Structure 1
Amino acid sequence: MSSSSGSSMRTPRRRVAGLGSARSGTGHFWLQRVTGISNLLLILICVPLVISVAGEGHGALVELLRNPFAAVALSLALFSIAMHMRIGMQVVIEDYVHSEGMKVLALIANSFFTIAVGGVGVFAVLKISFGG
């Protein structure tokens, strides 16, 4: 049979394998889990750092952030948390916003918002870290 007749040699299961409703469900599922695990590990590193300067004032926090290990750990945590937040909100938007126009606008706003939040947070950490 020719491909122009509309029939296919592929089985129905093969035609839909790995595609989900948005054609990227499996990738989002795994990325959500990976960012969740990285968030857990980074929080386990960052919380003791922040607790170590709790109640000591602004100067102690600035000194902490001038330590490259602390600055990198906090920056990675902010990046990972923002990415995890974007993926989670994307799933909610795709599941509960039914108008295609509103869905596209919400997905775009979600991406811009999370990029802005993560970017501003990392910028703040780096600015303090480099003494700006």
Structure 2
Amino acid sequence: MSYRNPGRPPTLRHPLKLARGLGSARDGTGHFFVQRITAVALVFLTFYVVGLLISLVGADYATVRARVGHPANATLLVAFLIANFWHARLGLQVILEDYVHTAGRYITLHLLIVFACVLAGLASVLAVVRVMLGA
């Protein structure tokens, strides 16, 4: 049995399945993969950052500045910060999508989360760059 669709060939899909504008936004898969990639990156980067912090316990400022100022350490710290704030933004977006059902509140909270994550991320990266450059 095929359902009739005016102007379209016969199909076995139910008419409700053919409703326009009510399907997937085709963005969830990309969001899912980016969240998982940042999570995997954060596992390895967190071990590195914790190891770096443990190695700096009791060190003076000049030693910390020299160690953080090394290009490899600074690059990995910046990668950790970017991945951390990006992952946090993605996770908070999912929470908003699941629990906030009012359009005005959703947009307001979503913008606040994006601005807070970008601002905190930039401030953190700037702090690493300042330590690296000795300012």
Which interval holds the TM-score relative to the shorter structure?
0.7 to 0.9
User: Which residue is 1:78 aligned to?
Assistant: 81
Aligned mates of 1:9, 1:57 — CA distance in 2: 76
The equivalent of 1:113 in structure 2 is 116
Q: Tell me what 1:99 maps to.
A: 102
Normalising to structure 1: TM-score of the pair?
0.83
Distance 1:24 1:118 in 2: 24
Could you tell me which residue of structure 2 aligns to residue 27 of structure 1?
A: 30
- Please list every run of 5 or more consecutive structure 2 residues that lacks an aligned counterpart in the other structure: 1-5
34, 38, 43: which one pairs with 1:40?
43
Structure 1 residue 64: Cα displacement: 1.2
What does the per-residue CA deviation read over 1:89-113, in whole Å, with 9 as the maximum and x for residues that have no partner? Answer: 0000111111100100111111000
Identity %: 32
Give how far 1:87 is off: 0.1
Cα 1:29–1:55 shift into 2, 3 Å: same
How many residues align? The count is: 125
Report the more deviating stretch, 49-58 or 88-97: 49-58
Structure number with bigger Rg? 2
The alignment partner of 2:59 has SS state of: coil
Deviation string for 1:69-121 (max 9, x for gaps)? 11111010000000000000000011111110010011111100000111100
Question: After TM superposition, what 4+ stretches of structure 1 lie above 6 angstroms from structure 2?
Answer: none
Q: CA RMSD in A?
A: 2.6
Change (3 A) 1:61 1:102: same
Cα distance in 1, alignment partners of residues 131 and 10 from structure 2: 61
